[in-house]
Amino acid sequence: MQTTPAIPPRRLLARLLAPLLGSALLVAGGAALANTSAGGTIRIVVGAPPGGAPDTVARIVAQHMQVGGRAVMVENKNGAASMIAAAYVARARPDGNTLLLASQTTVAVAPTLQNVTTFDPLKDFTGVALVGSAPQVLLAGPKLRANSVQELIAQAKAAPGEIDFCSGGIGTSPYMAAVLFAQTAGIELHSIPFAGEQACITEMLAGRLPFMFANASTALPYMKDQRLRALAVTSKARVSFAPQLPTTAEAGLKDYEVATWLGLLAPAATPPDVVNALNAEVRRVLRLPDVREKLEAQGYALSDDSPAAFTRYYQADRDKWVRLIQTAGIKQNP
């Protein structure tokens, strides 16, 4: 009778442990997040009301995130140009459970214009993941006689301060884009504030205001049906949603570039392994075809940056806008 040879004890132990070790490797990537806090919900705090562009982007990303088996929800804390939301997250426990959906307004423009002291945009946050960036569009109505960036600049130089632009008011992204445009071109424009981009669009369509810088998601419908004219995009390169449209640099203003970006920040002391795990999950979500289609339809070029790369990006962008506020003498309540 043939007998099976005995398995040496060390080899037997290795066979028994192999499945366990394999399982450990499979869950290692999510362990950092699973152990940050027992149960509970991970919150993405948005400093804007439901239904707006930041809120929509946050919800598209959040609904696809899978973080240690826990839900990811969006919490709106509107007010003070996102400063209420930013201060709240800056004071949150640095455990990866509370994140801030941030933009250049959050880290640069609003803190500077409001002289915010409740948090420090550089010291109190660390970058988790850049979701994406979208250009603005130089959008012209029937009142604007210029058909190109160069014609607009020439007309403004011929009549300093007499050409109006519309925006949602001091500190909004379209306002800052227009001020940077004027400073870069060496011209003087006159600001007419309205209650948001849609109000500006209405005035332009009625022929009462000549032009504005509009976020891509706002401009796209009016570009497609040709009710308004797009003269240029503010990005470094041409965009897929309007490849025929020149960049502002191509149109003659070579040192001009503006991107409206959205990304996730965490409290500064959040452990690196938690930040890296969150970053990996956001990047996974951004590669999903459904997510990519929805965000690109709003004009966003999606990111695939590391936390360190995103941190460098938003800090450099902050420097740019703080410098503009100082050199242009922009005041919240002039």
Whether residue 68 sits in one domain with residue 53: yes
Residue 159 belongs to a domain: yes
Whether residue 169 sits in one domain with residue 149: yes
Whether residue 186 sits in one domain with residue 142: yes
Residue 84 belongs to a domain: yes
Whether residue 227 sits in one domain with residue 142: yes
Whether residue 277 sits in one domain with residue 140: no
Burial class (CB in 10 A: 0-12, 13-18, 19+), 65: middle
Residue 34 belongs to a domain: no
Residue 176 belongs to a domain: yes
Whether residue 156 sits in one domain with residue 175: yes
Whether residue 315 sits in one domain with residue 268: yes
- The whole-model pTM stands at 0.85
What domain range is 91 assigned to?
42-133+261-328
pLDDT per residue of the chain (334 residues) written in tens, 0 to 9: 444 444 444 444 444 444 443 333 334 444 555 544 445 789 999 999 998 889 999 999 999 998 888 889 999 999 999 999 999 999 999 999 999 999 999 999 999 999 999 999 999 999 999 999 999 999 999 999 999 999 999 999 999 999 999 999 999 999 999 999 999 999 999 999 998 899 999 999 999 999 999 999 899 999 999 999 999 999 999 998 899 999 999 998 988 999 999 999 999 999 999 999 999 999 999 999 999 999 999 899 999 999 999 999 999 999 999 999 999 999 986 5
Q: If you search the block for the tokens 């940056």, which residue do you land on?
A: 305
- Mapping DSSP onto H, E and C, the string for 110-123 reads HHHHCCCCCCCCCC
Instruction: Answer whether 140's CB lies under 8 Å from 209's CB.
Output: no
Residue 25 belongs to a domain: no
Of the CA atoms within 13 Å of residue 1, those in its CB half-sphere come to: 1
Whether residue 61 sits in one domain with residue 107: yes
Residue 19 belongs to a domain: no
Distance CA(8)–CA(6), nearest Å, equals: 6
State phi, psi for 26 to the nearest 5 degrees.
Answer: -65, -35
Whether residue 281 sits in one domain with residue 203: no
Whether residue 229 sits in one domain with residue 139: yes
Number of domains making up the chain? 2
Distance CA(148)–CA(95), nearest Å, equals: 50
Residue 267 belongs to a domain: yes
Domain finish residue from 233, 248, 279: 233
DSSP 108: I
Whether residue 265 sits in one domain with residue 119: yes
Whether residue 272 sits in one domain with residue 213: no
Q: If you search the block for the tokens 């660390």, which residue do you land on?
A: 126
Distance CA(167)–CA(199), nearest Å, equals: 9
State phi, psi for 34 to the nearest 5 degrees.
Answer: -65, -30
What CATH number is associated with residue 219?
3.40.190.10
CA angle, 76 as apex, 75 and 82 as ends, to 5°? Answer: 125
Residue 245 belongs to a domain: no
What CATH number is associated with residue 129?
3.40.190.150
